[in-house]
């Protein structure tokens, strides 16, 4: 409720997205795919599981739920630096120093207030009508198809869209492990039959445009010879929306494959053993790829000092080296240091 008011496609000016308002990089790190076809930050279940993993990690890092909440809002690096700079040992001391933004100062009390109200809404004057639990079945699709070929009726098509808010287009993703589509209860057999006879869909190709100062949707649409309606729909905007400078818009047209991301895993799913990697298609777009160097711990070093020195965060060091949050480093230890080249 505090993050997005339960709006699955909520988007902040800073590009945070979904009910848990994941930033793109953090979402990818916790297993959420985001590309031009699907954005799993909009999937309530996947995003909530990812948020639980992230909050678990933050709690292990700080050993305090209020600091974990503050770090969820501001980022663990900012909270760690503010604590070291001020000497504060808990959230309330840190908030009193003014070293963190008012948004983060107010965030933790807002979560506490929402929790208290949710436990006894009538006591606080709220008359809440709860929605029924979401009920669905799933169908595993081993190739991309157009949703309209799975549900000819317009009402059924809208229900598929409602159950699968992570889909950014009307075409299901192509994924190596297959795509699990949510379908209304009782329709699984019908959808499987339709899928067997549906043609394999081909994805349109896309270009990307970085919005410049003063540009409008109409001007950008004219430049690329697409309609304003198509451009707006492709980017989840209204036709009259103002687009801020620096925003990246997806443009139908000639380009390479959509950007895809993957997470390298070691053992069970969890924050401690996950390292972010980008597929080759990403390196074609950005021209950059992740690499790592090694650093030998010296006397007096702390993880925070090492992270700052190498332009990274404590959280990233822990993840890259598969270390627990309370690890003690000793002189002579060798750490992997992520870098971009």
DSSP for 135-185, written as a single string: --EEEEESS--BGGGT--SHHHHHHHHHH-TTBSSSB----TT-EEEEE-T
Helix-strand-coil percent breakdown of the chain, rounded to 5? Answer: 40, 15, 45
The pLDDT value recorded for residue 339 is 60
Q: Which residue carries 């599981």 as its tokens?
A: 49
Q: Is the pLDDT of residue 195 over 50?
A: yes
More confident residue, 336 or 21: 21
How far is 24 from 14, CA to CA, in rounded Å? 10
- In this structure, what DSSP letter does residue 204 have? P
Residue 291's region, left for phi above 0, alpha for psi from -120 to 50, else beta, is beta
In whole numbers, what is the pLDDT of the chain averaged over residues? 82
Band of pLDDT at residue 266, cut at 50, 70 and 90: very low
Architecture of domain 266-340: Roll (3.10)
Note the pLDDT of residue 225: 87
> How many CB atoms are closer than 10 A to CB 87?
9
CA dist list (Å): 196 to 92, 140, 145, 148: 58, 12, 10, 14
Give per-residue pLDDT as tens, 143-181: 999 998 998 777 788 899 999 999 988 899 988 889 999
Confidence tier at 292 by pLDDT (50, 70, 90): low
In the chain, domain spans: 24-124, 137-197, 206-252, 266-340
Contacts for 225 with CB less than 8 Å, ≥ 6 apart:
none
pLDDT computed for residue 270 by the predictor: 33
Residue 340 confidence (pLDDT): 44
Question: Band of the pLDDT at 51, cuts 50, 70, 90?
Answer: very high
Q: Which two tokens stand for residue 77?
A: 């690096």
Q: Is the pLDDT of residue 207 over 70?
A: yes
Structural contact between residues 47 and 41, judged by C-beta atoms closer than 8 angstroms: yes
Residue 166 in contact with residue 40, Cβ under 8 Å? yes
- Which residue, 138, 208, 135, 214, is CA-closest to 172? 138
- pLDDT over 70 (residue 45): yes
Scan for tokens 């029924």, then name that residue.
Answer: 132
Q: How many CB atoms lie within 10 A of CB 289?
A: 12
Question: Candidates 3.40.50.2300, 3.10.350.10, 3.50.50.60, 3.30.310.10; correct CATH number of 206-252?
Answer: 3.10.350.10
d(CA 175, CA 140): 11
Q: Which residue has the higher pLDDT, 58 or 334?
A: 58
Section 85-114 average pLDDT: 96
- Considering the entire predicted model, what is its pTM? 0.61
Asked whether 236 and 248 are in contact (CB, 8 A), the reply is no
pLDDT of 272 strictly over 60? no
pLDDT at residue 93 greater than cutoff 90: yes
Q: Output the CA torsion sign for 9, 12, 17, 21.
A: negative
Task: Decide whether 206-252 matches 266-340 in CATH topology.
Answer: yes
């Amino acid at each position: 409720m505090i993050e997005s008011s339960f709006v699955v496609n909520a988007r902040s000016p800073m590009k945070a997205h979904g009910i848990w308002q994941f930033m793109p990089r953090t979402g990818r790190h916790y297993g959420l795919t985001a590309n031009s076809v699907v954005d799993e930050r909009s999937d309530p279940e996947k995003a909530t599981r990812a948020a639980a993993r992230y909050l678990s990690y933050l709690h292990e890092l700080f050993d305090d739920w209020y600091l974990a909440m503050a770090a969820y809002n501001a980022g663990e690096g900012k909270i760690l630096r503010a604590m070291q700079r001020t000497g504060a040992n808990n959230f309330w001391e840190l908030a009193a120093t003014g070293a963190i933004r008012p948004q983060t100062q107010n965030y933790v009390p807002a979560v506490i207030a929402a929790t208290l109200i949710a436990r006894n809404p009538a006591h606080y004057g709220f008359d809440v009508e709860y929605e029924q639990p979401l009920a669905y079945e799933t169908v595993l699709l081993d190739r991309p198809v157009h949703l309209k070929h799975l549900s000819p009726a317009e009402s059924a098509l809208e229900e598929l869209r409602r159950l699968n808010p992570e889909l950014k287009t009307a075409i299901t993703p192509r994924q190596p492990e297959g795509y699990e589509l949510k379908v209304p209860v009782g329709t699984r057999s019908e959808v499987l039959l339709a899928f067997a006879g549906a043609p394999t869909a081909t994805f349109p190709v896309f270009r990307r445009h970085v919005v410049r100062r003063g540009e409008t949707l109409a001007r950008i649409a004219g430049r690329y010879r697409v309609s304003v309606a198509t451009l707006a729909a492709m980017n989840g905007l209204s036709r009259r929306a103002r687009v801020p400078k620096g925003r990246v818009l997806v443009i139908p047209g000639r380009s390479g494959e959509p950007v895809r991301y993957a997470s390298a895993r070691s053992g069970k799913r969890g924050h401690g053993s996950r390292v972010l990697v980008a597929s080759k298609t990403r390196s074609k777009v950005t021209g950059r790829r992740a690499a790592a160097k090694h650093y030998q711990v010296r006397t007096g070093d702390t993880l925070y000092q090492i992270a700052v020195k190498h332009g990274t965060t404590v959280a990233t060091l822990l993840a890259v080296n598969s270390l627990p949050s309370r690890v003690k480093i000793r002189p002579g230890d060798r750490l992997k240091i992520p870098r971009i080249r």
